[in-house]
Amino acid sequence: MTDETDLEELRRGTELVKRGFAKMQKGGVIMDVVNREQARIAEDVGAVAVMNLEAVPADIRKRGGVARMADPASLREVIDEVSIPVMGKARIGHTKEAQILEATGADMIDESEVLTPADDKYHIDKRDFTSPFVCGARNLGEALRRIDEGAAMIRTKGEAGTGDVNQAVHHQRNIKSAIRKLEGMSHEEREAWARENDAPADLVHETAEMGRLPVVNFAAGGIATPADAALMMHHGCDGIFVGSGIFGAEDPEAMGTAIVEAVNNWDDPETLAEIASNIGEGMKGDANVDLPEEEKMQGRGV
């Protein structure tokens, strides 16, 4: 062993380091929290990370108005409370909110449609940041555009705050089905697909060759029960975001514990049956089909 390690060659915020962070979250549950007490519970029940925001999506829906980044002081409190990574949400296209989150110490930034978009045309140039980003997507073209902008993780958009898993399933199926089609295509067919879907051709080829998204792919939007979480793992997701589903439930600790265990046991129905028993009622929610088009969040920032 020598002690000649060259500190000058240290590099932060590289694609490897940012995508690597997302890989460490795989097989885990990331939980929305609005304060340090909730963050404490999330860590205790086995969350791999927490997402700090001002209000959970179900409450943002009820409340209406402009939804913005949470107070950085609240993010700092959560950071001081837990040892697991803490993420924060910035508005789509709001570079300054993202910089503030990074400066405050957020480990990952969610450029999120749950908040009111700040820019109706452009997303944040995520390559400029040292911190990794996660972005929502409804289909493969959207996912690859976000990766091209520098996203280190993709999540389904689903329909946040509804407690209805329908749209997360729909989006994950869209992504998987498009990848399967690409795998069977010739080079020129993939080029044409890239043009038709506004997706960068190099990422289309890379995805086709890998047979999966080139970054970690989580489920989000409407996941409210252990069975919902297991369903998204069954559809090939790498892990789960739960928004209103934990702290909107009758017994958040029981629900949180059960969802964490369900992700590890997603392919074992008998164990799932035990896990899902006697955990109290899930969040009430709103069925996606009953939601007026103008109240849907998933169409924001495509």
Partner 1 sequence: MTIRAGVVAVQGDVSEHADAIRRAAASHDETADVVEIRHSGAVPDCDILLLPGGESTTISRLLRDEGIAPEITEHVAAGKPVLATCAGLIVASTDPNDDRVDSLGLIDVTVERNAFGRQKDSFEAPLDVTGLDEPFPAVFIRAPLIDSVGDAEVLAEWDGRPVAVRDGPVVGTSFHPELTDDARIHDLAFFESEVANVVSDLG
Residues serving a catalytic function are: 89
Say which residue the tokens 């009430």 belong to.
Answer: 284
Is residue 16 close enough to count as binding partner 1 by CB under 8 A?
yes
Q: Least distance in Å: CB of 48 to partner 1?
A: 4
Is residue 196 close enough to count as binding partner 1 by CB under 8 A?
no
- String marking each residue 30-49 x if it binds partner 1 according to CB under 8 A: -------------x--xxxx
- String marking each residue 208-247 x if it binds partner 1 according to CB under 8 A: ----------------------------------------
Q: Which helix (H) or strand (E) holds 29?
A: strand 29-33
> By C-beta, is 71 or 267 nearer to partner 1?
267
Total binding residues for partner 1 by CB under 8 A?
45
The residues in 243-272 that bind partner 1, with binding defined as CB under 8 A, are 260-261, 264-265, 268
22 token code pair: 């997302």
146/79 Cα distance (integer angstroms) = 27
DSSP labels, 52-66: E-SS-HHHHHHH-S-
> By C-beta, is 43 or 159 nearer to partner 1?
43
How crowded is the C-beta side of 191, counted as CA atoms within 13 Å? 3
256 token code pair: 């949180």
Angle of the 252-264 helix axis to the 226-234 helix axis, nearest 10:
20
35/38 Cα distance (integer angstroms) = 6
Instruction: Tell me the window of 12-20, 65-73, 278-286, 291-299 that interacts with partner 1 (CB under 8 A).
Output: 12-20
Instruction: Tell me the window of 18-26, 118-126, 245-253, 282-290 that interacts with partner 1 (CB under 8 A).
Output: 18-26
> At a CB cut-off of 8 Å and minimum separation 6, what does 301 contact?
92, 93, 111, 113, 117, 123, 136
The residues in 89-148 that bind partner 1, with binding defined as CB under 8 A, are 102, 105-108, 130-132
Amino acid at 119: D
Positions touching partner 1 (CB under 8 A) are 1-7, 9-14, 16-17, 20-21, 23-28, 43, 46-49, 79, 83-85, 102, 105-108, 130-132, 260-261, 264-265, 268
